[in-house]
A and B are shown apart, each in its own frame.
Chain A
């Protein structure tokens, strides 16, 4: 792997919330290193509280590491990089006072896209996610799945090289999740974006990812990286193959003990955490 292939370089990154000794002091992430390759879709999976969202926020410049460094395009990240990185959050990150179309355009206003391009780019990205007929709707008028499609359209319209997705389908029901996953795989196979995708779902990770990074319980660090050698777009039948089952089982084996540990940790820490 040459340096130019690396889109995001994470070196010895740790993150702590609060100061040691504080009641709420938490070591979320410990000495994590990872190179994310240009154009790949990398899933971060792990038990709750293992720091995978923390890592995502540090890549996006929303949070600074306590130790270590995150580099995007071999520049250290110190603040959000709206021209290089777009986010899709778990839910309700659309502005409820704006229509779907206005939401997408507002993202471009923030990013600094010339006004003349807004309409065209917004329409194209909304068409791509299948919301052509819902541009004038307000978020409250859409289902959860459609809202996440709109959030994805807003991120796509920013035309960044990197897309960070923080459990984007986490609040959706299993069936909506499956359809959105399939559509996402088709959509992203047409782009050369680098994508980091945080999820709780084993199936989602195997179905979408080129590589899956499995996190240990807190303080989180990468325990193992699994490669899913399967071309995009993934065929919906992929989930029924023996290969899918084997990979899913491997992930399950790696995760199971960590999830137990995480549950015991939070039981010890009491109901507050």
Chain B
């Protein structure tokens, strides 16, 4: 009975969310078509929709999407490998946790986006400066969560496994890893999100290609309807990727 009510509540709140979005779009429509907001600042949603159709039908977005996704993928793989490895090594002793965890936490709170000019200097305007930035930014949450995951495993699990004769490998495979996994997965999800955000963002600042680059390019050419179409496209891509990563995280948790 309460399950049915749960479902009804969920449907109701979903309805409110959709209604809210539709309301916003309606407001946008009336703002441009009726109240006369300048079309260059805020284009009509119908025009934007037509532009979006054209962008997708023509396949024009493909090269930029490919650049952005490649950057995100490479950055994420790099920060996962380095963050998990380093986090695990640090978590091996209380001493190194005490030394390195505050350092990493401090570095995490620095606005790393400020390194972008430096990275452009090092790696040029091509994808590698964006990859370097995305890797740096996503490294910290991944490393910190890996330390938290491995470093704070309940002693009783380790003692119990030791008393039953677990080898070092068995201790890692059957005790430390499953105990730490939920926390590490959260770190990976946060890492992915910040990598995606920072790469899209830095493409708008200094780049030769990519979705962010395209959006700035269209803004400078005053092609706002098409720019809005690309923004909408990027939002959908980001939402899709985040959904995929979150559901992967949930799946891995449940095992």
- Given A106-B174, A109-B170, check contact A80 B163 (CB 8 Å): yes
| Chain A positions within 8 Å of B166 at CB level | 110
Nearest-CB distance from A152 to chain B (Å)? 13
One digit per residue, 1 when the CB lies within 8 angstroms of any chain B CB and 0 when it does not, for chain A 69-99 equals 0000000000010110111010011010110
Complex interface: chain B residues within 8 A of A111 (CB): 164-165
Cα distance A109–B166 in the bound complex, in angstroms: 8
Are the CB atoms of A87 and B163 closer together than 8 Å? yes
Q: Which of chain B's residues has its CB closest to A85's CB?
A: B163
Contact for B161 among A86, A92, A110, A158, CB less than 8 A: A110
B11 to chain A, nearest CB (A): 29
Q: Do A110 and B178 touch (CB < 8 A)?
A: no
Known: A80-B165, A111-B165. A97 touches B160 (CB 8 A): no
- Looking at the assembled complex, report how far the CB atom of B43 sits from the nearest CB atom of chain A, in whole angstroms: 52
| In the complex, B179 has a CB within 8 A of chain A | yes
Which residues 101-134 of B sit at the A interface, judged by CB distance below 8 A? none
Interface flags, B214-239, vs A, CB<8A=1, else 0: 00000000000000000000000000
Given known A-B contacts A92-B154, A93-B160, A82 and B165 have beta carbons under 8 A apart: yes
Chain B nearest CB from A124 CB (Å) reads 18
- B contacts with A, residue count (CB < 8 A): 19
Taking CB atoms, residues of chain A closer than 8 Å to B157 are 93, 95
Q: Is B96 an interface residue (CB 8 A)?
A: no
CA distance A109 to B179 in the complex (A): 18
Does A62 sit within 8 A of B, measured CB to CB?
Answer: yes
CB-CB under 8 A from A89, the residues of chain B are 156, 159-160
Complex: A87 Cα to B170 Cα, angstroms: 18
The CA of A83 and the CA of B165, in the complex, are separated in Å by 8
Contact B165 A87 (CB under 8 A): no
Across the interface, A97 reaches (CB within 8 A) one of B162, B163, B167, B178, namely B178
For residue A39, CB closer than 8 A to chain B, the reply is no
Check A110 against B170 for contact (C-beta < 8 Å).
yes
Residues of A within 8 A of B (CB): 60-62, 80, 82-83, 85-87, 89, 92-93, 95, 97-98, 106-107, 109-112, 158
Q: Can you list 5 A-B contacts with CB-CB less than 8 angstroms, sorted by A residue number?
A: A87-B160, A92-B156, A109-B170, A109-B174, A110-B167
Kindly list 16 other residue pairs between chains A and B, CB separation below 8 angstroms, not including A95-B157, A95-B179, A111-B164: A60-B163, A62-B163, A80-B164, A80-B165, A82-B165, A83-B165, A85-B163, A89-B159, A92-B156, A95-B160, A97-B178, A97-B179, A109-B170, A110-B170, A110-B174, A111-B165
